[in-house]
Chain A
């Protein structure tokens, strides 16, 4: 059965259905409907909702709860995520599973409250200190917000690592029909490492301090091997009309929805355009991009930022084709017409002045 729901609320409902019974967060626009939804629903479901005194306290409550074996989530928006980064580094270092939602708004600084994608670097390149990685999921619809929220908890448990759900103010605020699909039950994760009191077993310690550099390097190697497995197994992306595409647009989340419309318009004008939409931003779908290069003359990366993912697209393309960029910042959203104009310009370069 489909229900009409706001994106932020759909995340909350999906989390509860995924077995999340624990949420710690702090109010910040444009994600506040999520904690508000959970403040009502979690106690009904026998869970814990706690409004923390700060973003920093919230992520550290997540650390404690995750270490105690709970399926736990926190959410925020850009400036709040900046505050959480130390805690995210600790979570990754201590191998604690949790889901972190970032409903991005325009930055830098206090920025604004309108939608943006300008935390791509922060989400995918670490953000916090030290060598760590986390899977970053980029939904593009309310349905996908729900589906990827459920998947985020499974991935977090599977790898004992934080997973980030990266949306923006449009996705969080808009209403769409959504169905909460029953998921195949995975075998319950045996959290034998959790600190629950050491009755009948050796004591457990959750820690990220290794004063001996050899031990710290060994720990880093272990983490890197885990990150390598994530990169190998968890890449997700979607392609649209790329089979014969000469101009390939690469965009994620809200920008990808708009780019899809622009691709259709370009096709109607006889320009063979296509779209690659990364669903995981880390690991980045290099292969999906490489696989469209055969017919492709040029790529156009479209983002709601000043050009962040375009660096990963260029790494994937490795100089084989020109990679163009179009972006809007500050909470401004690119229109399909603007993107179409960019596609036309690139096509003009590629085809000569006769195509426009």
Chain B
């Protein structure tokens, strides 16, 4: 039985997240990983723009706040100066897939030895639930009120699959946090991603499917169910790339 103490890698600050939001769970998984690996004093985190912008208040490590979409570039700057530190970014889908599409692709292609925690909740949360590149076809948002019309607004981007085609990344996985079983799998993936960096393997990213009950206009439990019923089929969970076999071999 695991004790439910606050991880040392989280500050005492109260989360500002909405009821039912899964950012809190993902923050905790990252913090637990930092504690377990004993890297709290050598980690530098990069917060992005969006709901998780205040992550610099929550992670009890040195933090930089990056401009919208630029977290992988900022993390690159830090890592190139301090190659023996652990550097991670924490980004949402508007930040990473839309405005920061260039930065994430090139950080991955360079095999930049950083870890990216990418939280995909299929909308812009902070600004009030607008359509994101990850919004599912026919999913209603404030800027696609009749549901995302792919003829007009195009199709969602599957980032994990896209980045897995590159030679640079060492580890690309997609997980979900809609139930405890998947939370445990997410924790494992996050830990693997950080370990890859510590072993100098190169770029690692975990895309975590997450809910946004407030902007989806759903009760928290219904949102978890919606994720399971709708997001998992469009965004299958799994490990899309890993050099782990080579590591073990």
A residues contacting B by CB (< 8 A) are 22, 24, 48, 50, 52-54, 56-58, 60-70, 72, 86-87, 90, 94, 195-200, 203-209
B211 nearest CB across to chain A (Å) = 24
A351 nearest CB across to chain B (Å) = 56
Q: Check if B65 sits within 8 Å of A205, measured CB to CB.
A: yes
Q: How far is the CA of A197 from the CA of B43 in the complex (A)?
A: 5
Q: Check if B62 sits within 8 Å of A196, measured CB to CB.
A: yes
Q: A48-B81, A197-B85, A207-B56 are in contact. List 9 more A-B contacts (CB 8 A).
A: A60-B74, A61-B76, A63-B64, A64-B75, A64-B81, A195-B78, A203-B62, A203-B63, A205-B65
| Complex interface: chain A residues within 8 A of B70 (CB) | 56-57, 60, 63, 87
By beta carbon, the residue of chain A nearest B63 is A205
Q: How far is the CA of A246 from the CA of B78 in the complex (A)?
A: 54
| Complex interface: chain A residues within 8 A of B53 (CB) | 209
Q: Check if B74 sits within 8 Å of A63, measured CB to CB.
A: yes
Q: How far is the CA of A94 from the CA of B77 in the complex (A)?
A: 15
B177 nearest CB across to chain A (Å) = 26
With A63-B64, A195-B44 known to touch, is A70 a contact of B81 (CB < 8 Å)? yes
Q: Check if A68 sits within 8 Å of B44, measured CB to CB.
A: yes
**B80 within 8 Å of A by Cβ?**
yes
Q: Check if A198 sits within 8 Å of B102, measured CB to CB.
A: no
CB-CB contacts of B44-61 with A at 8 A, as 1s and 0s?
101100000110100011
Chain B 8-58 interface residues, beta-carbon cutoff 8 Å to A? 40-44, 46-47, 53-54, 56
Q: Check if B65 sits within 8 Å of A207, measured CB to CB.
A: yes
Q: Check if A207 sits within 8 Å of B61, measured CB to CB.
A: no
With A56-B70, A197-B41 known to touch, is A204 a contact of B62 (CB < 8 Å)? yes
Which one of B40, B41, B54, B77 has the highest number of Cβ atoms from chain A below 10 Å of its Cβ? B77
Chain B 106-139 interface residues, beta-carbon cutoff 8 Å to A? 106
With A54-B102, A57-B106, A197-B62 known to touch, is A86 a contact of B67 (CB < 8 Å)? yes
Q: How far is the CA of A64 from the CA of B63 in the complex (A)?
A: 10
**B157 within 8 Å of A by Cβ?**
no
Size category of the binding interface on chain B: 20 to 34
Q: Check if B44 sits within 8 Å of A65, measured CB to CB.
A: no
Q: Check if B67 sits within 8 Å of A87, measured CB to CB.
A: yes
A53 nearest CB across to chain B (Å) = 4
B residues contacting A by CB (< 8 A) are 40-44, 46-47, 53-54, 56, 60-67, 70, 73-82, 85, 102-103, 105-106
Q: How far is the CA of A61 from the CA of B76 in the complex (A)?
A: 6
Q: How far is the CA of A53 from the CA of B110 in the complex (A)?
A: 10
Q: How far is the CA of A161 from the CA of B145 in the complex (A)?
A: 44
CB pairs A–B below 8 angstroms (21 shown): A22-B81, A24-B77, A52-B73, A57-B102, A58-B73, A60-B67, A61-B74, A63-B64, A63-B67, A64-B64, A64-B77, A64-B78, A69-B81, A87-B70, A197-B42, A197-B61, A204-B63, A205-B63, A205-B64, A207-B56, A208-B65
Q: Check if B77 sits within 8 Å of A65, measured CB to CB.
A: yes
Q: Check if A48 sits within 8 Å of B63, measured CB to CB.
A: no
Q: Check if B82 sits within 8 Å of A196, measured CB to CB.
A: yes
Q: How far is the CA of A196 from the CA of B85 in the complex (A)?
A: 8
Q: How far is the CA of A196 from the CA of B45 in the complex (A)?
A: 10
Which one of B43, B74, B102, B105 has the highest number of Cβ atoms from chain A below 10 Å of its Cβ? B74
B121 nearest CB across to chain A (Å) = 21
Q: Check if B80 sits within 8 Å of A195, measured CB to CB.
A: no
| Complex interface: chain B residues within 8 A of A61 (CB) | 73-74, 76-77, 80
Q: How far is the CA of A69 from the CA of B46 in the complex (A)?
A: 15
Residue A64 contacts which of B54, B61, B73, B102 (CB distance < 8 angstroms)?
A: B73
By beta carbon, the residue of chain B nearest A64 is B77
Q: How far is the CA of A341 from the CA of B73 in the complex (A)?
A: 51
Q: Check if B41 sits within 8 Å of A199, measured CB to CB.
A: yes
Residue A209 contacts which of B65, B75, B76 (CB distance < 8 angstroms)?
A: B65
| Complex interface: chain A residues within 8 A of B43 (CB) | 197
Q: How far is the CA of A264 from the CA of B140 in the complex (A)?
A: 72
| Complex interface: chain A residues within 8 A of B61 (CB) | 197-198, 203
Q: Check if B76 sits within 8 Å of A50, measured CB to CB.
A: yes
| Complex interface: chain B residues within 8 A of A196 (CB) | 44, 62, 82, 85
Q: How far is the CA of A62 from the CA of B156 in the complex (A)?
A: 32
Q: How far is the CA of A208 from the CA of B56 in the complex (A)?
A: 11
Q: How far is the CA of A68 from the CA of B64 in the complex (A)?
A: 9
B160 nearest CB across to chain A (Å) = 20
Residue A198 contacts which of B41, B66, B75, B105 (CB distance < 8 angstroms)?
A: B41
With A53-B102, A64-B75, A199-B42 known to touch, is A205 a contact of B67 (CB < 8 Å)? no
Q: How far is the CA of A198 from the CA of B46 in the complex (A)?
A: 14
| Complex interface: chain A residues within 8 A of B60 (CB) | 203
Residue A195 contacts which of B64, B73, B103, B105 (CB distance < 8 angstroms)?
A: B64
| Complex interface: chain A residues within 8 A of B105 (CB) | 53
A346 nearest CB across to chain B (Å) = 47
Q: Check if A50 sits within 8 Å of B80, measured CB to CB.
A: yes
Q: How far is the CA of A52 from the CA of B105 in the complex (A)?
A: 12
Report the 10 A-B pairs with minimum CB-CB distance, sorted nearest first. A64-B77, A60-B73, A65-B77, A195-B62, A64-B74, A53-B106, A61-B77, A60-B70, A199-B41, A197-B42
By beta carbon, the residue of chain B nearest A208 is B65
| Complex interface: chain A residues within 8 A of B79 (CB) | 64
Q: How far is the CA of A22 from the CA of B78 in the complex (A)?
A: 11
| Complex interface: chain A residues within 8 A of B82 (CB) | 68, 196-197
Q: How far is the CA of A87 from the CA of B66 in the complex (A)?
A: 9
B126 nearest CB across to chain A (Å) = 11
Q: How far is the CA of A94 from the CA of B73 in the complex (A)?
A: 16
